[in-house]
Homo-oligomer: A and B are copies of this chain.
């Protein structure tokens, strides 16, 4: 079902199932899928195509290398989603948007690429191709590789309501535990 040049066959049922799963997971953690369901399902289909092709959910709006290790930062949800939501109210693909976009107070527009140039180039050099199957990708679940990337110097934020701790540039829009809003977080470390 995954021949070079034709692309994998994805059924509407598969799209619908993953769409519903992502929606449930997003809402449970204080995230939001783009409320334009047709647009969003197009992206979900892209994730399923990439899963069939590479063995992982490479971002549907970026060029994947086909090497899981190279693409780790752009497996959806990507490493850049949350900073982009903080700054632009949308992720690069507009698969995830802020509450303000859901409420119609803001619009999701094209945003600049936050991924460092050198990572994109490395990925391009690695040369993805449609014939690369999931089997040739490194096995999932082999765990993080400490030292591969320097640990970031990120602040630790604390939810004043429930004590949740997280390390990121900015606090999340809502606390994933108690749903308190961003302004209820304080710098902890």
Closest to A30 in B: B177
The yes or no answer to A110 lying at the interface (CB within 8 A) is: no
Q: Is the CB of B79 within 8 A of A178?
A: no
Q: Is the CB of B187 within 8 A of A78?
A: no
**Inter-chain contacts of A11 with B (CB < 8 A):** none
* Interface residues on chain A, size class: 35 or more
Closest to A176 in B: B177
Q: Is the CB of A158 within 8 A of B167?
A: yes
Question: Taking the full assembly, how many copies of this chain does it contain?
Answer: 3
- C-alpha spacing A160/B80, complex, angstroms: 9
Q: Is the CB of B72 within 8 A of A183?
A: yes
Q: Is the CB of B188 within 8 A of A167?
A: yes
Known: A163-B168, A166-B162, A167-B165. A182 touches B144 (CB 8 A): yes
Contact residues of A between 132 and 161, Cβ < 8 Å to B: 140-144, 146, 149, 151, 154, 156-158, 160-161
A-B contact pairs, 6 of them (CB 8 A): A28-B28, A31-B178, A77-B178, A82-B163, A144-B185, A162-B166
**Inter-chain contacts of A122 with B (CB < 8 A):** none
The yes or no answer to A66 lying at the interface (CB within 8 A) is: no
The yes or no answer to A186 lying at the interface (CB within 8 A) is: yes
Q: Is the CB of A140 within 8 A of B82?
A: no
**Inter-chain contacts of A166 with B (CB < 8 A):** 162-165
The yes or no answer to A41 lying at the interface (CB within 8 A) is: no
**Inter-chain contacts of A165 with B (CB < 8 A):** 156, 165-167
Closest to A25 in B: B179
Known: A72-B183, A72-B184, A183-B72. A144 touches B161 (CB 8 A): no
**Inter-chain contacts of A177 with B (CB < 8 A):** 29, 176
Closest to A168 in B: B163
